[in-house]
Amino acid sequence: MVRENASIFERLEAELMRLMAEPLAAGLHLVATPIGHLGDMSLRAVATLARADTIYCEDTRHSAKLLARYGIAQPLESYHEHNGARMRPRILARIAAGRPVALISDAGMPLISDPGFKLVRAVRAAGHPVYVVPGPSAALAGLVVSGIAGEHFYFEGFLPAKSSKRRKRLGELASVPGALVFFESPARLSEMLHDARAVLGNREAAIAREMTKRHEEVLTGRLDALAARVDEAPPKGEMVVVIAPGPGQATEAGDREIENALDEALLHMSVRDAVDAVSARLKVARRRVYGLALARRKGME
């Protein structure tokens, strides 16, 4: 039991001890790790990795640094595209012997443009459980920080490196009724923005760069302006590009989004003004917003 007036440090320690005291189930544990700021490592991620029989990662030297920071000394082995076929039977044998094993990637969520999909399929096919310890992922972080409506989005990851194939793929994505989320390298960013401008039209977009790190920044604007800016001063580091849906493609806001906007507006507006403001901002019929506002008020009475 933690004392009522325990400090934040005592509470965190107690929470970690509680997590560490639970046995870790046999199976594959997919564990998210920070995309930059090491403070984003969750307590459950630490406790899971610290109790795993073996931790599989892309690059053992890279992950050893993260684990050392938390005093985690479990054996580390590499699992990546090139040794996956050889490693999967070994990992399955470990799990079949009743051991919990963990999979991490260099950063963020394993499987999201990172290895692990075939392993998850193989573990499930063999009848063993797969667990997830969710956490940071550059895809979601980029989407939410972009300022582009993200109620509906499509995650593409990396586009093809060759311009002809990239343009073809962008053409296929042109009719997606939601924001498009890409991973991109600084070396290809300019070409990618120019191709996107040519294929998708001059849509609103954002580049979320070096998120959670010292040089974190979000560049926003239309694709032509962003491309010009990038050509003038090419940004460095890791980046996520988010592109808004084209005109007429955005799907109408859902009830939850309207209700959240109403709650915020009602803090400083009358019901009538809040309904007007939300209906204009989210481009939703006033009647629909008013109906939700009334239902909300009824629910509160």
Q: Report the interface residues with ligand SAM, using CB under 6 A.
A: 35-36, 105, 107-109, 112-114, 137-139, 183-185, 208-213, 238-240
Residue environment code for 170-190, b if the CB has 16+ CB neighbours within 10 A, otherwise e = beebbebebbbbbbbeeebbb
Shortest Å, Cβ 122 to ligand SAM: 20
> Which residue is at the shortest CB distance from ligand SAM?
108
Shortest Å, Cβ 34 to ligand SAM: 9
- Using alpha carbons, select from 77, 99, 134 the residue that is nearest to residue 28: 99
Q: Within a 13 Å sphere around the CA of 44, how many CA atoms are in the beta-carbon half?
A: 11
Shortest Å, Cβ 135 to ligand SAM: 9
Shortest Å, Cβ 219 to ligand SAM: 12
Shortest Å, Cβ 183 to ligand SAM: 3
Closer by beta carbon to ligand SAM, 105 or else 146: 105
Shortest Å, Cβ 58 to ligand SAM: 9
**DSSP single-letter state for residue 22:** S
List, as own/partner pairs, every contact residues 191-197 make where C-beta atoms lie below 8 angstroms and the sequence separation is at least 24, other chains included.
191/163, 191/166, 192/159, 192/166, 192/241, 193/223, 193/226, 193/227, 193/230, 193/241, 194/227, 195/163, 195/166, 195/167, 195/170, 196/170, 196/223, 196/241, 196/243, 197/223, 197/224, 197/227
**Rounded to the nearest 10 degrees, how much is the dihedral formed by the CA atoms of 152, 157, 163, 169?**
-50
Q: Within a 13 Å sphere around the CA of 70, how many CA atoms are in the beta-carbon half?
A: 24
Shortest Å, Cβ 275 to ligand SAM: 38
Q: Residue 183's beta-bridge partner residues?
A: 158, 240
